């Protein structure tokens, strides 16, 4: 499509905007009427550990959103010579889960507690027993329950409890709503009614009442919406909040806010039964759309939903590429000291490609990449560590392979449970920064999970593009067409992908690596206990 035509689509208000607040980057994407990305803008940020809590300030949220949107506007004007002042639709997503409570005046009552925190073990266990349904530590309801158990004084004043995506949407539209997929990371969803599970709501409300609280969950949680439903429009106040220049017009329709899991499913066309995707970046998670319920409750498996409310088994690991990034910084420092400085964009391909040259079992080198706690393996905190067997070959290639394998080995431990449940997967698609270097992450993930892994040409677009697709569905496809058919027929009908089959030797090497990794977890626990900041 030529630039003049795209310029007409943008100036005519027919393009669609998707914005996602990820763990390390806020990215805005603009798509045209063929769903192709035509412009983007981003902002880099990082969470902080403050008083033992992983958090971001809400000032940082708005500074980051404004910067990302300003960069999107600048990209549009640079490429097409027109201003981005309106759009056919818009949608916002963010990292799932977490805890953002507000009082009746809209005042924030506690610091934003992100998905990365592992401080809610007591509450998660209590709720899992109460509901007979796995409640992970990072879920909003676990954070709320933990605050209740600790007697935090702010809990009695809660008027609205939401996630980061729900908060941004609320401030831009005035609507306290949430997409069903994002809502399923706050509180369990009944897929038959596409709403919070009523029996579990009643159990929690009784618990809260017995502790003296007067609100009910339905009072304080966002209203649940299905993909394609009306989630309000951008208000005049919201437009100025996103674009302080005043150029952005109010009235743009918004779709229900979703989490990064839901946008990942949309971006990989993995919303139908027996499909799945693996999103690998700061964290890594696999989402498998189920045909039937699992035989029992597994603490390692989250039950969430697609953006249309279908049940999904989710294996979520807090740690993936952050330790790889740290080692890349070390290697960058080495190249600078050696007088041949390389930037990260040069280092990562070298690191990943070297991994393919290493021994299948990483030559006895094992990397525990835990910068934070890891519920899948029962760790409340993390201490990154590298161990190796003496007498084996310690090479750069083996070290590099151990870093790449270490990024996904915890995911394998969780996915092995689904294999035991005989869960059928027709297609598994990878997306995220882990797959940026061609074939490497894809090959090793196929070996780890013993299943073919595909990567689409659009995989690099990721969550912001997926959010834009959900916004486009809200505008174009909700009348009489399911999200599944909309994505298949209108978005992905001509999509190209590459599929890599698992290699038997790689599988065996990863099996050995996994055994060694699992054996090191006791040492990891000792490191957490003994190494204090």
Residue 365 CA to residue 400 CA, distance in Å, equals: 9
Rg of the chain taking only CA atoms, in angstroms: 23
Q: Is residue 293 domain-shared with residue 437, that is, in the same domain?
A: yes
Q: How far is CA 500 from CA 237, 289, 404, in A?
A: 48, 21, 17
**Which are the contacts of 416, defined by CB distance < 8 A and separation ≥ 6?**
none
Is the distance from CB of 28 to CB of 76 less than 8 angstroms? Answer: no
Tokens matching residue 196: 């919070």
Output the pTM of the full model.
Answer: 0.83
The rounded mean pLDDT for the chain is: 94
Tokens matching residue 431: 């997306």
Q: Is residue 346 domain-shared with residue 490, that is, in the same domain?
A: no
Q: How far is CA 373 from CA 137, 278, 279, 378, 426, in A?
A: 11, 20, 19, 8, 32
Q: What is the pLDDT averaged over residues 392-418?
A: 96
SS3 label, residue 253: strand
Which position has the token pair 């920064």? 433
Residue 166 CA to residue 256 CA, distance in Å, equals: 9
- Domain count within the chain: 2
How far is residue 78 CA from its own chain's centroid? 30
Q: Is residue 367 domain-shared with residue 484, that is, in the same domain?
A: no
Q: Is residue 400 domain-shared with residue 420, that is, in the same domain?
A: no
Q: Is residue 353 domain-shared with residue 382, that is, in the same domain?
A: yes
Is the distance from CB of 263 to CB of 463 less than 8 angstroms? Answer: yes
Tokens matching residue 488: 């298949």
Please write the tens of the pLDDT for every residue from 118-156.
Answer: 899 999 999 999 999 999 999 999 999 999 999 999 999
Q: Is residue 405 domain-shared with residue 432, that is, in the same domain?
A: no
β-strand pairing of 89-94 with 53-55: unpaired
Q: Which of 205-219, 237-251, 311-325 shows the lowest per-residue confidence on average (mean pLDDT)? A: 311-325
How far is residue 487 CA from its own chain's centroid? 20
**Neighbouring C-beta atoms of residue 113, cutoff 10 Å:** 22
What pLDDT score was predicted for residue 2?
87
Q: Is residue 441 domain-shared with residue 507, that is, in the same domain?
A: no
Q: Is residue 329 domain-shared with residue 354, that is, in the same domain?
A: yes
Q: Is residue 492 domain-shared with residue 523, that is, in the same domain?
A: no
Q: Is the pLDDT of residue 459 over 60?
A: no
Helix (H) or strand (E) holding 110: none
What pLDDT score was predicted for residue 197?
97
Nearest CA to 466 out of 264, 298, 174 is that of 264
Strands in 372-474 per DSSP E: 385-388, 427-431, 453-456
Question: What domain range is 270 assigned to?
Answer: 266-319+414-500
Q: What is the pLDDT averaged over residues 381-406?
A: 95
Please write the tens of the pLDDT for every residue from 37-66.
Answer: 999 999 999 999 999 999 999 999 999 999
């Amino acid at each position: 499509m030529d630039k003049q035509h795209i310029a007409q689509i943008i100036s005519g208000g027919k393009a669609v905007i998707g914005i996602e607040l990820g763990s390390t980057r806020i990215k805005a994407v603009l798509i045209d009427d063929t769903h192709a990305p035509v412009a983007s803008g981003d902002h880099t940020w990082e969470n902080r550990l403050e008083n033992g809590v992983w958090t971001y300030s809400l000032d940082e949220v708005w500074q980051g959103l404004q910067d990302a949107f300003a960069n999107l506007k600048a990209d549009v004007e640079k490429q097409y010579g027109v201003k981005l002042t309106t759009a056919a639709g818009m949608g916002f997503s963010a990292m799932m889960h977490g805890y953002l409570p507000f009082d009746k005046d809209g005042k924030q009552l506690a610091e934003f507690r992100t998905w990365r925190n592992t401080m809610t073990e007591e509450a998660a266990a209590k709720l899992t027993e109460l509901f007979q349904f796995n409640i992970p530590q990072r879920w909003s309801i676990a954070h709320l329950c933990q605050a209740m158990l600790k007697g935090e004084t702010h809990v009695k004043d809660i008027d609205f409890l939401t996630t980061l995506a729900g908060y941004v949407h609320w401030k831009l539209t005035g609507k306290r709503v949430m997409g069903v997929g994002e809502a399923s990371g706050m509180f369990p969803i009944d897929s038959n009614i596409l709403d919070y599970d009523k029996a579990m709501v009643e159990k929690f409300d009784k618990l809260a009442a017995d502790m003296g609280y007067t609100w009910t969950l339905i009072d304080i949680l966002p209203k649940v919406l299905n993909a394609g439903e009306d989630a309000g429009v951008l208000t005049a106040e919201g437009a100025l909040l996103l674009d302080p220049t005043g150029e952005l017009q109010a009235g743009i329709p918004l779709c229900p806010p979703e989490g990064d899991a839901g946008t990942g499913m949309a971006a990989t066309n993995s919303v139908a039964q027996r499909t799945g995707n693996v999103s690998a970046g700061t964290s890594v998670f696999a989402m498998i759309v189920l045909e039937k319920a699992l035989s029992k409750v597994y603490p390692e498996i989250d039950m969430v939903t697609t953006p249309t409310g279908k049940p999904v088994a989710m294996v979520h690991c807090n740690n993936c590429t952050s330790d790889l990034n740290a080692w890349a910084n070390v290697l960058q420092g080495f190249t600078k000291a050696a007088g041949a400085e390389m930037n990260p964009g040069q280092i990562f391909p070298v690191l990943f490609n070297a991994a393919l040259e290493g021994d299948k079992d990483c030559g006895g080198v094992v990397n525990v990449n835990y910068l934070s706690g890891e519920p899948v393996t029962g760790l409340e905190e993390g201490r990154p560590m590298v161990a190796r067997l003496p007498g084996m070959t310690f090479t750069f290639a083996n070290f590099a392979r151990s870093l790449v394998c270490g990024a996904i080995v915890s995911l394998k431990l969780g996915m092995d449970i689904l294999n035991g449940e005989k869960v059928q997967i027709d297609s598994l698609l990878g997306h995220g920064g882990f797959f940026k270097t061609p074939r490497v992450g894809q090959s090793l993930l196929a070996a780890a999970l013993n299943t073919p892994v595909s990567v689409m040409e659009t995989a690099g677009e990721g969550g912001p593009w997926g959010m834009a697709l959900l916004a486009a569905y809200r505008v174009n496809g909700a009348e009489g067409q399911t999200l599944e058919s909309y994505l298949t027929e209108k978005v992905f009908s001509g999509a190209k992908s590459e599929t890599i089959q698992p290699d038997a030797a790689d599988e065996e090497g990863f099996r050995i690596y996994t055994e060694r990794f699992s054996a090191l977890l006791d040492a990891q626990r000792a490191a957490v206990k003994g190494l204090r900041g």
